[in-house]
Amino acid sequence: MAAALLLCAALSLGARREKVKVSTDAFWVNPNLKGTPQPKPTITPWASRPRKERGPAPYVPPSDWVYNTTGGPVEGKINVHLVPHSHDDTGWQVTVDQYFYEQVYYILDTLLVRLNEDPNRRFMFVETAFFARWWDQQPASKQALMKTLVERGQLEFINGGWCMHDEASPYYVEMVDQTTRGHQFLKKQFGRVAAPKGTWSIDPFGHSNTNAWLLGAEAGMEFEFWGRMDYQDFNMRVDSKGLEWVWQGSQSLGDSAQIFAGQLFGGGHGGYGTWFGFDGSSPQVQDDPSRHDYNVDQLVDQFIQHAQQQAKSYQTEHQMWACGDDFNYQNADHWYHNLDKLIHYVNKNGTVNAFYSTPSIYVDQKKKANLTWEVRQDDIFPLGDADHHYWSGYFTSRPSLKRQVHMASNFLNAARQLEVISGVTAEQVNAPTERPSPPVGPSWTDSLEGTVGVATHHDGMSGTERQDVSDDYEQRISESHGEVEAGVALSLNRLLGTNVTFEHCNCNSMGADNCLNISMCGITTEQSAFTVVAWNPLGRASAQTVRLPVTGGDGWNVSVNGRAVVCQTTAIDSRTLELPQLYLNYYNMTDQQAAAARAALSNKATHILVFDVTIPALGYSTVSVSRTAVQQKSQRAVEKKVRKGDPVTISNSAYELTFDGTTGMTATLKNLASGASTPFVVSMGWYNSSVGGCTHDATTDPQHECDGQKSGAYIFRSNTSQVFYPGPATTPTLQVSKGPVVQEVQQVFSPWATAVYRLYQGHASVEVEWTVGPIPTDTPWMPSVVSGKANEWGKEVVVKYSTGMATEGVFYTDSNGREMVRRQFNKRGPSYPPLVVNEPVAGNYYPVNAMISVQDAQHELAVLTDASMGGASLKDGEVELMVHRRILDDDSRGVQEPLNETMCGCNDINAGEAQMGEHGHEGDGGCWCEGLTMRGRHLLMFDTIEQVNQQRRQAMEELSFPATLAFSKGLLSPQNPTASFLAQELPAGLKLLTLTSNYAGINDGKLLLRVAHLYGAGESSAMSVPINVNFTAVFAKQGLTVTSMDETQLTGTYSLSEMDAKKHKWQTFDPTGGAVLKQLHETKAFNKRYPFDVTDFTVTVRPMEVRTFLVTFQ
């Protein structure tokens, strides 16, 4: 108060006659222009001149204070498309619902008023999960006004998915599902007019080919823009008009799936803003010369200089400015009032032309230019934003959430199929989700569809959100899962002709209850007789191995559909038995309480019962399991701990795997069918997470070796290239187990890093089950770096597969489960500049969603994964996968929290509410838990290149889309013990991708059906061919007989013929002198789509193609 009185006194005495001008210098900095000169002022601001020398103000407000915002493109001028937008994360620092009711609600609410004030104003909105929340809470009057704005084109939906999905972590199935959900909501509320025309992937931390060609071109999108790309690539392009190109991302579909693509020039947090911002308390446009801080002349000058600067980086006289940032426009008047002024005064100046626009209007002008554009196939992975800042850590971050999303997605698709076939309704299920996702359709699968969809967000399953937000995603999925489990149970009862209680053991219960991944399943453990129903979601019959925890190792009998099958029991290893107890939170427990809690969490099973089950296409088999008094010792596997020095060999009909008893490591891998053999060593280890420092083994200029960047949720940066042994250096111990169904070797590197190798009879792959955790934060087995202080180091754990193949640094990774992309150590694709290597580990990591492979001239090793993770090949003949991370520092990318997860999902001890705990977590305190422990599976295939390429896709299907299992007590006698609901199987190589009734009410009662070709062009001489399918022959069973089919673009929004008819034919060139064209033509693409025959419902599907239909069944 005293300071205020003094100031008033000074002014009253005349000590200050003019207020100091508020500087707008902050507007001048564009963070994307690293190394490029920034624009400079060309005028002396009117308010800065001496009063006597000023003359009239250069710009004065209109007499009626109504600014002229009319306008559009003007030929011969730089045309600045001002695109108002807000980037709204569906979860990041707080949860999706918190963001909605604290921020996004007000964005949409104030937009409604401000857009309606002026028909020239525009806005683009992206995240339909937020829009649906807002829409559901509005009266009819507001909904009607919003419909009017959409019809006028003032509000345009871009992307339109349920969220802005990550492009590194999701399988293509999840990407397609969440995008379809968003588009169907828009279709339901607004009709065809709201169908998005392009993608706006401004914040994901890298960009995949699959997103461009499948979620882009094949969904009817004409363009894709983003705010982040690799800094070396950006620096090469920014001064050569190279920031936009035609992305031909698919090797298989060629130029039929091109999309216009480009990097925003922008600023802001992620490169998706522009050089000014008018949200909240930001400096505003002041155009009244009778008031202080007149600055409109400065801003007009700045506007012109920035437009002229940006024009150097883009072809045509059109440029786009993304006017917004994270959660902007909560009071939309701030932005629109200032933008109105800028448009008015910039156009009065006349040097450049400015107007309200959208990305669609902008791209329409690019088409009209009739220019030739660079063509490119390379993806944008890994993304680096500086010498040592590689966004490749999130490929693995929060591995449990990544796994949960993928497993829930498979369960969702199986449930959709069961819903269609059984006819069970949500009313009959009568188990609604307590806090459901905003509804799109009436299905009992709808909420799970929404919760899985929102978790694909680029700060969701990417692993870059805060711990409580990750917990929220997991909780939403688990809660919605309960409703779907009830629906699946009711559907199976209807199909089997039974009336029993079915239970599930799919890891969605609290803690360790009922999770087959850690051998916990109450019904199989506690019962001596039970029934399993296995539902096959695939369009072809599938032979799958089932592993169930049971009590007792002898006397088990298994029959599948009434026929006895061979089974085997193996004792549960101590590592598996300890896993449930890791969920215990010891906070405030006495020793006695802790012991009781451990006992309650303990696994009561003693053995694993293993058998094979063959399940018909889109159908089920019934498995009866019982234990008799007769001791059938032949069922029990023979187990033996291996003495040091004793060699070990396990085999099945396809492979032989040998171990060196002296080293405790694998030694050779042999394919018994072809005779192919290779030295083969599997190892586990960890990189020391960097806390900033120097990367001495980089090949860059020594002056650029050092940097303060830390490893964290987003960024991977290892302290060195050395992989350390997981614990005190020792010889791994081995234990072998052999039986009639499976032979396996358990390998213990340390108490927190173990592996099990399995060879199942009749299966042409090697299974490696890895278990990692709790990763210790301390490292007491290594000398202290600082005397007297513990080595508290972050650890990034990898599994390595080393062969004797000469692979010349080349390896291949899948793109969201679709095409395989060629990679090369220390090199990028031909459209990139020569790579300056500054992080030889992190800079060579790529996302692996389903598979990574290496090959020499004759043979190939493919490693298939059951969840997304980062991978690389850093040495010849080697595959490396990062399976887990535990990091003790934040990487300064906004999450403000170390990636230090616990088994309880709670925050660390002594963390006060909204405060950081001892190990960095923000939370409510009261957590004393073990670090997160992960278990996953890899499938290995080794053979000739042609054989591996032919077999690996089917193996991927069975690993990623296994049978859905339901359990019932006792032995059932169903009326229908097995059934397939297809009259004939889909052709080999064709996937049944989607079958759902959830959108029938939006599409005149028609169901959504999708099929996908599993193989890419050139992948397999036998399978990489167009596949013809007659749906009349496939869907001819009673109750599932197809009677009508209409083909649509990917998301079922409008007809495929309309999409293809409006596609623009871009003229392209190769600026590399032929390197890109060589890449594009390495494989013969299938550029022309085969038409759908509407008379007999027959279609030919090209390699990698996805075809979508709205269908009616009898």
The 3-state DSSP class for residue 815 equals coil
What is the per-residue pLDDT for 588? 84
Length reported for the chain: 1114
Token code pair at residue 1071: 């600026």
Q: Rounded distance, CA 1033 to CA 1035, Å? A: 6
Spans of the chain, pLDDT less than 50 = 1-28, 35, 632-634, 919-920
Distance of CA 914 to the CA centre of its chain: 28
Q: What percent of the chain has pLDDT over 70?
A: 93
Please, are residues 1034 and 1113 in contact by the beta-carbon 8 Å criterion? no
Q: Rounded distance, CA 1034 to CA 1101, Å? A: 15
Please, are residues 142 and 112 in contact by the beta-carbon 8 Å criterion? yes
What is the per-residue pLDDT for 1? 36
Whether the ω angle into residue 382 lies within 30 degrees of 0, i.e. cis, is yes
Q: Rounded distance, CA 237 to CA 262, Å? A: 11
Burial of 495 (0-12, 13-18, 19+ CB in 10 A): buried
- The predicted model scores a pTM of 0.95
Strands (E), 851-926: 851-855, 859-865, 869-872, 878-886, 915-916, 922-923
Beta strand 199-200 with 223-226 is parallel
Whether the ω angle into residue 616 lies within 30 degrees of 0, i.e. cis, is no
Please, are residues 189 and 135 in contact by the beta-carbon 8 Å criterion? yes
Amino acid letter at 689?
Answer: S
Residues with Cβ within 8 Å of residue 977, at least 6 apart in sequence: 496, 561, 562, 621, 622
> By C-alpha distance, which of 912, 914, 917, 915 is closest to 888?
917
3-state helix, strand, coil in the chain (%, to 5): 25, 25, 45
Please, are residues 679 and 700 in contact by the beta-carbon 8 Å criterion? no
> By C-alpha distance, which of 527, 545, 679, 533 is closest to 610?
545
Distances 70 to 334, 341, 353, 354 between C-alpha atoms, Å: 19, 12, 11, 10
Q: What's the pLDDT tens digit per position in 798-824?
A: 999 999 999 999 999 999 999 999 999
Beta strand 619-627 with 556-560 is antiparallel
Q: Give the phi and the psi of residue 496 in degrees, each rounded to 5.
A: -80, -20
**DSSP code per residue over 421-480:** HH---HHHH----SSPPPPSSS-TTHHHHHHHHHHTBTTTTTS-S-HHHHHHHHHHHHHH
What is the per-residue pLDDT for 37? 62
Please, are residues 448 and 412 in contact by the beta-carbon 8 Å criterion? yes
What is the per-residue pLDDT for 9? 30
What is the per-residue pLDDT for 229? 93
Burial of 296 (0-12, 13-18, 19+ CB in 10 A): buried
Termini Cα distance of the chain? 80
Distances 796 to 687, 698, 731 between C-alpha atoms, Å: 5, 19, 21
Q: Rounded distance, CA 104 to CA 330, Å? A: 7
Q: What's the pLDDT tens digit per position in 1029-1050?
A: 999 999 999 889 999 999 999 9
Q: What percent of the chain has pLDDT over 90?
A: 84
What is the per-residue pLDDT for 586? 86
What is the per-residue pLDDT for 13? 29
Token code pair at residue 55: 């003359």
Please, are residues 1036 and 1102 in contact by the beta-carbon 8 Å criterion? no
The crossing angle, in degrees rounded to 10, of helices 172-190 and 399-422 is 60
**DSSP code per residue over 554-609:** S-EEEEETTEEE-EEEEEPPHHHHHGGGGG---TT--HHHHHHHHHHHS----EEE
CA angle 828, 830, 836 (to 5 degrees): 40
Beta strand 259-263 with 223-226 is parallel
Amino acid letter at 670?
Answer: K
CB burial readout 16-25, b (16+ within 10 A) else e: eeeeeeeebe
Q: What's the pLDDT tens digit per position in 964-1012?
A: 999 999 999 999 999 999 999 999 999 999 999 999 999 999 999 999 9
> By C-alpha distance, which of 675, 713, 1109, 1064 is closest to 888?
713
Strands (E), 690-804: 693-694, 706-707, 733-738, 742-750, 753-760, 766-772, 795-803
